[in-house]
Amino acid sequence: MHSKKFTLTTLLATALIYLLLDAVNRALFSSAALSSGENWIYLPAGLRLAFILIFLGTGAVAIALASCAIGLIHFSGMDPVTVLGAGLISGFSPWLARVICLEKFKLDTQLHHLNLAALVKIALTFAALNAVLQQLWFTWCNPSTHFIEATAKMFMADMLGTVILLYIAKYSLSLLPAPDQLK
């Protein structure tokens, strides 16, 4: 029972944090938006990667649910099937990127010894995979979509958001006392 309660709590907290960062991202970058819903920087992309690396499947489900909620709230005119597909891709493309990176870059499954170079490779793989899968889905649902341009914009937003969030996390962690100082 404890494990189910922890998983549900993790799922809800992860989804809520993702929703909140999406709101912060919209507030920070709405004036520099390319168009409605298209930003140059998408900070929640960094959370997608982090939540998948930390929580695996629970993180993927939380991101998918939060992404569906974001789609329904901010793109109310969009077909619910399109929103559902985009939400599922948002949740599971980082998980797929993790699987690909574990195999391709020979990372251990616990991600011990994860260095900056490996993290950049994972972030690039994640941003590219997410952008391509999202835009394939949107193009299939709406054939008038400009696939290459939209994919490039989404890749840029996801990559910049991931890098910025990782640097914020790195800086925040540097403010904490070193583990040997806690003794």
- Domain spans of the chain? 2-30+38-169
Residue 166 phi/psi, 5-degree rounding, is: -65, -40
162 CB contacts (<8 Å, ≥6 apart)?
45, 46, 48, 49, 123, 126, 127
Q: Per-residue confidence at 183, pLDDT binned at 50, 70, 90?
A: low
Quick one: tokens of 112?
């011990």
- Per-residue confidence (pLDDT) for residue 179, from 0 to 100: 60
pLDDT in tens, 71-119: 888 877 788 898 999 999 999 998 998 889 888 887 766 666 677 777 7
Quick one: tokens of 103?
């195999």
Q: Per-residue confidence at 169, pLDDT binned at 50, 70, 90?
A: confident
User: Whole-angstrom Cα distance, residue 33 to residue 90?
Assistant: 20
pLDDT, greater one: 178 or 29: 29
Q: Contact 95/52 with Cβ under 8 angstroms?
A: yes
User: Whole-angstrom Cα distance, residue 84 to residue 71?
Assistant: 8
Across the chain, what does the average pLDDT equal?
A: 84
32 pLDDT above the threshold of 80: no
pTM, to two decimals = 0.82
Q: Per-residue confidence at 35, pLDDT binned at 50, 70, 90?
A: low
Q: Which CATH class is domain 2-30+38-169?
A: mainly alpha
- Per-residue confidence (pLDDT) for residue 44, from 0 to 100: 92
Q: Contact 18/44 with Cβ under 8 angstroms?
A: yes
1 pLDDT above the threshold of 60: no
